[in-house]
Chain A
């Protein structure tokens, strides 16, 4: 019993240590943090210029634009998730640690979400206002992004794990991961459109939540296996 508690404690300590390290690394390389956010902002700024600045038209597509921009900017930052650890040998040490690799990986993905998905979610109301999203859809947009972006990070990390051993994995990640992103995108934008139309969104949120739950349970195992394959070859 005491042993069990001790090992639980040490697991949460390892998780915390890993999370803190990745956040610290991100903080020391702040410039890299900004680029996905700038990309996110640029899409939303350029879209009305390129298509139509008409508020009526924009309010219809706002949810889709914000979601697609969030999805692509997550994808953009995904390639670097394991890259530097692979290049400097930290990944080897993680693989050879007696601590469960899936746990270390979850900590990394969690840190990645906190520096990509979370800021995107926080920024999304600003973009939504710029694109004239009706106010009824605002809370739905924030909620779906809050539930959806961790899923995007988890799924993307599987692709990142598989391609980390390749010199040019960037495009391959997109091909591997994008099909898996589509359900999240459909239910995310669907929820916002339903909310704008005055319909209940609980069903959409439940499905997004179910996908996230499935992702949290299964993705770490897949990511860990993918990393083992990448390092062993």
Chain B
């Protein structure tokens, strides 16, 4: 089997003297979609923040393409698209300006005007390109942020609750997008409370209420 893109070995994290997860082991290969499951407060967001490198409050190992994530930091960041709880959209800028700024920061993103307009059209914001984001609705702001998915060439997507405040049609379109990304050999790690209709979906369960047998905890096929 090929080297996994991202590998999690014996991950342990505690928060406010409460163990969120321990002995967590899983890996993600190119072309896979991994859903992190668990009730509210089980540490899904914390896990994604650790995987993306935003949080260092963990013990254990993260490996990127077989080497330690600290050694492969630059390559990892160039390959990552992170969509967090906070959309990363500036209220005083227009959707187009927001995406252009993101593209400047993340070179693996298309920054051609046509591509940006195209992406905004795909998330249903055609005609809103020049409207400041503070006059858009919460869902539309999430959509501005989601438009990054259409622009990015990053192989690894880490998406934290990408479907929050998105309507049904939007969710279907994003699901198709995630599936297409996996078909092209990309990997997706996401959390969501939606029922996902994606083939090849793998799940990792977090949760304090369901202790798993020693040694097998975490990764469930």
Contact = CB atoms under 8 A, between A and B. Distances in A.
B104 A92 contact: no
A25 B90 contact: yes
Interface string A3-36: 0000000100110011001001100110000000
Nearest to B101: A21
Interface in B57-103: 57, 74, 77-78, 80, 82, 84-93, 97, 100-102
Main SS of chain B's interface residues? loop
A136 B96 CA distance: 51
Interface string A179-212: 0000000000000000000000000000000000
B86 A92 contact: yes
Contacts of B74: 98
Contacts of B55: 232
Interface string B100-129: 111011110000000000000000000000
Interface in A69-100: 84, 87-90, 92-99
B47 to A, nearest CB: 14
Contact of B105 (A29, A84, A97): A97
A231 interface: yes
Nearest to A29: B92
Given A97-B77, A97-B105, A89 B87 contact: yes
B52 interface: yes
A222 interface: no
Contacts of B54: 92, 95-96, 231-232
Nearest to B79: A98
Interface in A21-53: 21, 24-25, 28-29
Given A96-B82, A98-B74, A98-B78, 8 more contacts: A21-B93, A25-B92, A28-B132, A89-B84, A89-B87, A93-B106, A96-B54, A98-B107
Interface of A: 10, 13-14, 17-18, 21, 24-25, 28-29, 84, 87-90, 92-99, 104, 231-233
21 contacts: A14-B104, A18-B104, A21-B90, A21-B101, A25-B90, A25-B93, A84-B90, A87-B86, A89-B85, A89-B86, A90-B89, A92-B54, A93-B88, A96-B52, A97-B77, A98-B74, A98-B77, A99-B105, A232-B56, A232-B57, A233-B57
4 A-B pairs with the lowest CB-CB distances in the bound complex, closest first: A89-B86, A89-B88, A97-B105, A17-B104
